[in-house]
Homo-oligomer: A and B are copies of this chain.
Amino acid sequence: MARPTPLSGFPEWLPDGRIVEQHVLDVLRRTFELHGFAGIETRAVEPLDQLLRKGETSKEVYVLRRLQEEAGAPGEDRAGQLGLHFDLTVPFARYVLENAGHLAFPFRRYQIQKVWRGERPQDGRFREFVQADIDVVAAGELAYHYEVELPLVMAEALGALRSIGVPPVRILVNNRKVAEGFYRGLGLDDVDGVLRSIDKLDKIGAGAVTELLVTETGATADQADACLALAAISGDDDGVITRVRELAMAHAVTSELLEEGLGELGTLMRAAASRAPGVVVADLKIARGLDYYTGSVYETLLVGHEQLGSICSGGRYDTLASDGTTTYPGVGLSIGVSRLVSRLLTGGLVRATRSVPSAVLVAVTSQDLRPASDAVATALRARGIPVEVAPSAAKFGKQIRHADRRGIPFVWFVGAPDESGTATADQVKDIRSGDQQAADTATWEPSSDDWWPRVVPAT
């Protein structure tokens, strides 16, 4: 087998990179659990017809076939075919319906798993990647306060990563009711069409969006201007609410839906200003494409890395799932863990202090004496210290180099009887400083900085 090459779009990390990723996952999990979210994991596959209920994503799905199955003709019946999930929302909706009788609602869950999309790989866009989702789903009615709570949980989770060198984030929020109320109040009823056009603002610019609004949604130049003026409003306090009201007044827009949306957005901005100051920004151009959101929508930019795109997105949906009797509304956000970690590693923002868990390498004096080294390792591990034993009874210089190559800070030398027959004490050497001292397996311990590999800013 010749040396294989990486598959584009399927990222993998070396052991030190995996330590960074694992740390990010641990911090997210801990934050979600502190907020009472229960972890679940769903299977990687869903029936293809469920994955394709929203046609727009069909191009991304990987379909599975057992190798020994008959290969089907292209247009064959999809019943029974399985595909890999492309997000964690579709499987969660199915899980909620399947287990509704065993869940207590409102149900708070987090879910950290890989998803797959057959898209063309680009920087920060993968075919296999890890997402970390939180959602609250209710049976029947979902109170608005969850739309305030969930982005603040994500703000806390991402904030908890600041100390390892993750840049600050800006969570951009909008409310579908504001946009829809404003557009309808202006006289534009093709709300999806307007949203679709506005969503292209960053990509194609205001001039082209105006043209789209006029040609595709039948807007007048004045209506298009008003839509663009709305999209231009942003700010990190509830002053944005006033500015939207002024804009509406200037265009004689009155709408109950708009007022309801502004009330909600104002509540969110005030809560965010007190609980996560400077993190949440109202940005009236956030549209979240053609998704099924019906209230708040969220996107998150990494400050200084805005061109990476959103690393945490989501929103409120009135119908996550329905079994015909009960409808399950929800609100949730999803962190693109692979996108974030990939930038942390390739951008040189973050590093692990070593590439292996071991704090100590126990040297082996001779192959016959390996059991003595094993006993030292066992004693240290019993006290929670990560240890490995040297691979061979090579010269001590070579054993020290073995530790050095892995970043293991300490080498332990097992005492042995000297010429007079008295046992000498064990010694432990800090191979960075060269300091060596007598040590006892019952009491010695590494400093807390050296105990486990840590994840730290790279600079």
A interface with B by C-beta (< 8 Å):
1-7, 10-15, 18-19, 21-22, 33-45, 47-48, 50, 52, 58-68, 70-74, 82-84, 94-95, 97-100, 102-104, 106, 108-109, 114, 116, 118, 128, 138, 143, 145, 149, 271, 275, 321-324, 355-358, 367, 370-371, 374, 378, 381, 384-389, 391-392, 402, 405-406, 452
Contacts and interface: CB of A to CB of B under 8 A. Distances in A.
Nearest to A407: B104
Pairs A-B, 4 closest by C-beta atoms: A36-B388, A36-B358, A66-B118, A33-B357
A59 B67 contact: yes
11 contacts: A2-B324, A4-B94, A6-B98, A7-B45, A13-B40, A18-B40, A44-B116, A62-B64, A104-B402, A104-B406, A108-B388
Contacts of A321: 1
Given A61-B66, A63-B65, 10 more contacts: A7-B82, A12-B41, A12-B95, A13-B41, A14-B99, A34-B385, A34-B386, A38-B355, A44-B128, A62-B65
A278 to B, nearest CB: 17
Contacts of A358: 36
A5 B100 CA distance: 12
Contact of A15 (B13, B38, B138): B38
A437 B447 CA distance: 40
A118 B67 contact: yes
Nearest to A7: B43
Contacts of A84: 64
Contacts of A106: 391
Contacts of A271: 371
Contacts of A18: 38-41
A33 to B, nearest CB: 4
A97 B3 contact: yes
A38 B1 contact: no
A279 to B, nearest CB: 15
Contacts of A15: 38-40, 103, 109
Contact of A275 (B99, B370, B374): B374
A317 B266 CA distance: 64
A84 B67 CA distance: 11
A47 to B, nearest CB: 8
B1 A322 contact: yes
Nearest to A45: B10
B59 A63 contact: no
Contacts of A371: 271
Given A62-B64, A98-B3, A388 B44 contact: no
A381 B381 CA distance: 31
Contacts of A5: 98
A36 B357 contact: yes
A44 B114 contact: yes
B38 A100 contact: no
A34 B322 CA distance: 47
A323 B3 CA distance: 6
B71 A83 contact: no
A70 B63 CA distance: 12
A128 B45 contact: yes
A41 B24 CA distance: 14
